[in-house]
Structure 1
Amino acid sequence: MSTATRTNTPGAGGAPEELAAVSSESLAALLVAGERPPRPGALSASVTFGWRAMLKIKHVPEQLFDVTAFPIMMVLMYTYLFGGALAGSPQEYLQRLLPGILVMSIVMITMYTGVAVNTDIDKGVFDRFRTLPIWRPSVMVGYLLGDMLRYVLGSLVILAVGLVLGFRPAGGAVGVVAGIALLIVFSFAFSWVWTMFGLLLRTEKSVMGVSMMVIFPLTFLSDIFVETSTMPGWLQAFVDNNPVTHASSSVRSFMQGQWPGAELFWTLGWSALLVAVFGPITMRLYNRR
């Protein structure tokens, strides 16, 4: 069996040369002659999918609204709305509020990880990923790595606004970096919850609705705005064991130049627990999708 191909190299008279016969055996040998490229490792595959998530921001810059305009609005609104009533002046209240608002804003935007996962499922992109010879969790890890850029950007925006308004971290640059780094770790772990919902729920609106039902109680029923000692006993018991409270207290302590102590270990413990619980559930749902 053979196939014929026409070569268009002109001869002396400008006419095409004669047909050249190519056997199917020689064609197959040509296609499989080279060695297959090596299978990408877990790290390289995860970084590649993380880069894909960042390219989405490049092509759709409107996605940055929730990490730029929204945090600025939160800082201004709560500082001047509650500052005079709770601390005597907005500037005094800002010293306590800004680390908490930082945690609140970043934790809120973690839900967009689940939204992105659900959107790719709806478009059929996941079906293509499943056929690739790659480390299976790299797709999920890539989403989270890409979103870490959003968390860092949101943190820098909030910090810049706070400095303009009069926030002065006693911990200096080291305390600020340590607080933001801890927040990124906590947010990375918290994002696994929303990747699970992104795989479990059918629509993007459902993911956002469920996410807000979880995030709002956790962020508002915390020590972000006021001291827990001012709350009723039954509410204080919940707030003191809230993972967002531990994260907020740890970040605030770092920025105030203090060692978080037990709050730091609670935050890291919650982070490890979230990954240990929701990571396997997410991958099981992904493999069965």
Structure 2
Amino acid sequence: MTMLVDTHPAAAVPLSPADLPARPTLRDTIDQTLAMAWRSTKKMRRNPEQFFDVTIQPLLFTAMFAYIFGGAISGSVSAYLPLIIPGILAQTALTTCMAMGTQLREDMDKGTFDRFRSLPIARIAPLAGPALADVIRYTIASTLTILVGLAMGYRPGGGVLGTLGGWLLTIVAAWSLAWIFTWLGTVARSAQAVQGISMLIMFPLTFLSNAFVPADSLPGWLEAFVKVNPVSHVVTACRDLINEGQVTAEVGWAVLGCAAVVAIFAPLAVRSYSRKF
């Protein structure tokens, strides 16, 4: 008996709109981002060495810069503290958030994000979650910097509210700048490359700013760059808040700059991540 076998493959039946995975809503995106943030905090607890830089660096840099440069720049350490403490806050924020890109690239190389790809989650959640969890590190670093300054005799003229304002601005700036390094983590080919590029960004932004010396004491060509350096705006805004307790135009420029960085680099990071995964 001869059997007839149909050798033609069955035509693919297109999925109906009801069968397609639903696009995550804003509420879903927030919940998924918080879940990713919680995952990152659990990693921090398992790897406490991630807190080494945010605890040692504020102690070391604040004391080192104050005692080495205080007498030469301001005549005494006590007179230098109102200048250097806001500068150390900004420097600490930048160097702390720099690790974001390296950690992200390491997770990608380990295949962690391959598992996220199969989940029906918002594309931004695996990126925004770790960025949100890193706020813990920024908070520790900023708090320790202020506490070290107080222990060295620094007395903020802006009072409690001004100090809290400068502290909060530093954390916001760190979270905003972290999106630059998040984007680098999605486009670079290795964690070593991310770290090298991040160092090239970090050094000009921090040391070619008014974080450690007054801008008017620099050569004219360098002063022009320092005045347009975004880190200088954050430093000046922190000084206005912490030392004077005033919400000046520099505070507005700093907040606007932070918003612009997020508006530019967050979509770039998500786009690069979506292309690779």
Verify the 8 A CA contact 1:171 1:255 in the aligned structure 2. yes
Verify the 8 A CA contact 1:192 1:279 in the aligned structure 2. yes
1:138 to 125, 137, 141: 125
1:41 is aligned to 2:28: yes
Task: Report how far residue 260 of structure 1 moved.
Answer: 4.2
1:202 is aligned to 2:186: no
Match of 2:274 in 1: 287
Q: What CA distance in whole angstroms lies between the structure 2 residues aligned with 1:227 and 1:102?
A: 16
Match of 1:103 in 2: 90
Task: Report how far residue 286 of structure 1 moved.
Answer: 0.5
Task: Report how far residue 96 of structure 1 moved.
Answer: 1.4
Verify the 8 A CA contact 2:161 2:245 in the aligned structure 1. no
Task: Report how far residue 81 of structure 1 moved.
Answer: 0.3
Unaligned segments of structure 1, at least 5 residues: 1-37
Match of 2:160 in 1: 173
Match of 1:254 in 2: 241
Supply the AA of the counterpart residue of 2:132. Answer: L
Match of 1:213 in 2: 200
Cα RMSD for the two superposed structures: 1.4
Task: Report how far residue 129 of structure 1 moved.
Answer: 0.8
1:239 is aligned to 2:202: no
**Aligned ranges for residues 13-162 of structure 1 at < 5 Å?**
41-162=28-149
Supply the AA of the counterpart residue of 1:159. Answer: I
Supply the AA of the counterpart residue of 2:273. Answer: Y
Q: What CA distance in whole angstroms lies between the structure 1 residues aligned with 2:52 and 2:139?
A: 14
Supply the AA of the counterpart residue of 2:218. Answer: M
Match of 2:19 in 1: none
* Matched pairs, number: 252
Q: What CA distance in whole angstroms lies between the structure 1 residues aligned with 2:249 and 2:61?
A: 28
Task: Report how far residue 249 of structure 1 moved.
Answer: 0.5
Task: Report how far residue 257 of structure 1 moved.
Answer: 2.5
Write the deviation string for residues 88-130 of structure 1: whole angstroms up to 9, x where unpaired.
1112111211111111111111111101110110110001111
Task: Report how far residue 237 of structure 1 moved.
Answer: 1.0
Q: Could you tell me the TM-score, scaled by structure 2's length?
A: 0.88
Write the deviation string for residues 117-166 of structure 1: whole angstroms up to 9, x where unpaired.
10110110001111111121111110110111100011111111111111
Which 4+ runs in 1 deviate beyond 3 A? Answer: none
Verify the 8 A CA contact 1:97 1:225 in the aligned structure 2. yes
Verify the 8 A CA contact 1:192 1:274 in the aligned structure 2. yes
Q: What CA distance in whole angstroms lies between the structure 1 residues aligned with 2:160 and 2:246?
A: 15
Write the deviation string for residues 256-275 of structure 1: whole angstroms up to 9, x where unpaired.
13324221121112112111
Q: What CA distance in whole angstroms lies between the structure 1 residues aligned with 2:245 and 2:136?
A: 27
Match of 2:172 in 1: 185
Unaligned segments of structure 2, at least 5 residues: 1-23
Supply the AA of the counterpart residue of 1:245. Answer: S
* SS of residue matched to 2:244: coil
Q: What CA distance in whole angstroms lies between the structure 2 residues aligned with 1:41 and 1:139?
A: 13
Task: Report how far residue 253 of structure 1 moved.
Answer: 0.9
Q: Could you tell me the TM-score, scaled by structure 1's length?
A: 0.84
Q: What CA distance in whole angstroms lies between the structure 2 residues aligned with 1:221 and 1:262?
A: 22
Task: Report how far residue 73 of structure 1 moved.
Answer: 0.6
1:225 to 208, 212, 216: 212
Q: Which moved more, 1:192-201 or 1:47-56?
A: 47-56
Supply the AA of the counterpart residue of 1:203. Answer: S
Q: What CA distance in whole angstroms lies between the structure 2 residues aligned with 1:227 and 1:146?
A: 34
Q: What CA distance in whole angstroms lies between the structure 2 residues aligned with 1:52 and 1:222?
A: 36
Higher relative contact order (CA 8 A, sep 6+): 2
* SS of residue matched to 1:224: coil
Q: What CA distance in whole angstroms lies between the structure 1 residues aligned with 2:141 and 2:95?
A: 11
Verify the 8 A CA contact 1:249 1:260 in the aligned structure 2. no
* SS of residue matched to 1:256: helix
Q: What CA distance in whole angstroms lies between the structure 2 residues aligned with 1:185 and 1:94?
A: 23
Q: What CA distance in whole angstroms lies between the structure 1 residues aligned with 2:265 and 2:256?
A: 14
